[in-house]
Amino acid sequence: MHTIFWSYERGTWPYDVMVVVILLFVLLTPGKWFHDQPKLTGVSATSIQLVTQDDASRTRTYRLDAAVLPPEKRAAKSTPELEREVHNMLGRTVDDLKDRTFHVLRIDPVLSSEHAVQYYDVTIGM
């Protein structure tokens, strides 16, 4: 009962044993047991679409729904932070780009009639 309610005094041997057991559990438990992969919220098959592919120039253009980006990352013009976020999003979600080297060449935001970003046309180079 003492173990369940943690009623040992600090400095006693049962307290020290419990601390060691907890530390061993935290440090030695494989992370894959807990499936602690980041969850991509709101990213579906229709959120990112391949629009064009030019094999000669080794470029592709993807249409990325602005709703998949956090509101603070959305911008009406290309910024280094937006480029980094879009690059990471494409690298995580597009099967053809996983574990491949590519770079963002251009980001063209497409605005709605209310001047809010609806989606981005992202051109990448392979």
- DSSP secondary structure letters along 51-76: EEEETTTTEEEEEEEGGGS-GGG--S
Q: Answer yes or no: is 42 within a domain.
A: no
pLDDT at residue 23, as a whole number:
94
Q: What is the pTM of this model?
A: 0.60
Question: Is 82 found in the same domain as 58?
Answer: yes
Question: Is 68 found in the same domain as 92?
Answer: yes
Q: Answer yes or no: is 11 within a domain.
A: yes
Number of structural domains found in the chain: 2
Question: Is 68 found in the same domain as 95?
Answer: yes
Residue type, 72: E
Question: Is 106 found in the same domain as 79?
Answer: yes
Q: How many beta carbons lie within 10 A of that of residue 48, not counting itself?
A: 21
| pLDDT tens per residue across all 126 residues of the chain | 666 777 778 889 888 998 999 999 989 988 777 766 555 555 555 688 889 988 899 999 999 988 888 777 778 888 888 888 888 888 888 888 888 899 999 999 888 888 888 889 999 998
Strand 117-125 and strand 48-54: the pairing is: unpaired
- 3-class SS at 29? coil
Q: Answer yes or no: is 40 within a domain.
A: no
Rounded CA gap, 102 and 7, in Å? 56
- Take residue 24 and report the two structure tokens written for it: 């061993």
Domain range enclosing 29: 2-34
By the 8 A CB rule, do 89 and 64 touch? Answer: yes
Q: Answer yes or no: is 43 within a domain.
A: no
pLDDT at residue 124, as a whole number:
92
pLDDT at residue 42, as a whole number:
52
How far is residue 62 from each of residues 1, 11, 120, measured CA to CA in Å?
60, 61, 8
Q: How many beta carbons lie within 10 A of that of residue 37, not counting itself?
A: 8
Question: Is 59 found in the same domain as 116?
Answer: yes
- Take residue 38 and report the two structure tokens written for it: 């980041």
Question: Is 24 found in the same domain as 58?
Answer: no
Question: Is 24 found in the same domain as 60?
Answer: no
pLDDT at residue 20, as a whole number:
93
Single out the residue of 61, 76, 68 nearest to residue 46, CA to CA.
68
